[in-house]
Amino acid sequence: MTETLSSAQAQSLTEAEELAQAQAQADRGDRWFISGCVVCGTWVLGPIGVFMLLYGMLQMKRAEARGAHIRPWAITCIGGFILVDTSVNFFAWGMDFLWAHDSTIGSSLWIDYGRLVDGGYMYDYNVDRIGGVADNGEKAVQLGMVLMGMPIKMVAAWGFLRMKQWGLQWTLIAYWMYFAFWMVYLTNMMQDFPLRFGSSDYGVIGFWLLVNVPFLGPLVLLPYLHTVRRDLWKP
């Protein structure tokens, strides 16, 4: 009887250790995934970021098969999309808004981007007082997005992925703010349509394919986020 009890206890202890190891693997995978999403937004290191987030997802999948508890995959994919989209805009506009526009890489990326889809970045780049793009409306949007909108959205996405109630709430707030910025951004671009689209190689079609698709996130995700089961996110 004693031997049977000891064997059951040993088996229970082994299962607990295995579960703890699986949970640790899931946590490591989650860190790889979140870090990869952020690195994807750096443009230059984007391919490395893709490898990191895929590796993290693989680790989480293996940990789940071993019995680890992970968040729903739909939440992972949505949170990952939000983080990638946020980091892309934060680093890209930050590169133009801050001192990086004086670097060879920064000016080359933006001027060539202007040649492809947005002529506003091709003409008179880095000649005004602040530097970077010369369009005043674009600079105002960058100020709001880089210093306020994107940091809020990035922290909210992290909380969203950590299944925190404040993360869900601030993701909703950030996406409504993002939608407002998007409307202002498009209106500003339409005011200078001949310069910004008419002088670029691919114009409106190129802009939608390369830039504007991620901006449609609020139209898709806001209805979903307003209908999720809020009890899944803990205080």
- pLDDT tens profile 206-231: 888 877 776 777 778 888 888 888 88
What is the C-alpha separation between 135 and 37, in angstroms, rounded?
30
Q: What is the DSSP letter of 44?
A: T
Q: Quick one: pLDDT band at residue 5, thresholds 50, 70, 90?
A: very low
Q: What is the pTM of this model?
A: 0.85
Q: What is the DSSP letter of 209?
A: I
In the predicted structure, residue 146 carries a pLDDT above the cut 60: yes
Closest residue by Cα to residue 124 from 179, 192, 186:
192
What is the C-alpha separation between 42 and 48, in angstroms, rounded?
10
What's the first-to-final CA gap in the chain, in angstroms?
A: 45
What are the angstrom distances between the C-alpha of 83 and each of 36, 106, 128, 137?
Answer: 9, 22, 32, 25
The residue ranges of every structural domain in the chain are: 1-70, 73-235
Q: Cβ distance 123 to 168 under 8 Å? A: no
What was the pLDDT predicted at 117?
87
What is the C-alpha separation between 186 and 123, in angstroms, rounded?
19
The torsion defined by the Cα of 203, 209, 211 and 217, in degrees rounded to 10, comes to 140
* Tens-digit pLDDT profile for residues 25-68: 999 999 999 999 999 888 778 889 999 999 999 999 999 998 88
What is the C-alpha separation between 161 and 188, in angstroms, rounded?
33
- Mean residue pLDDT of the chain comes to 86
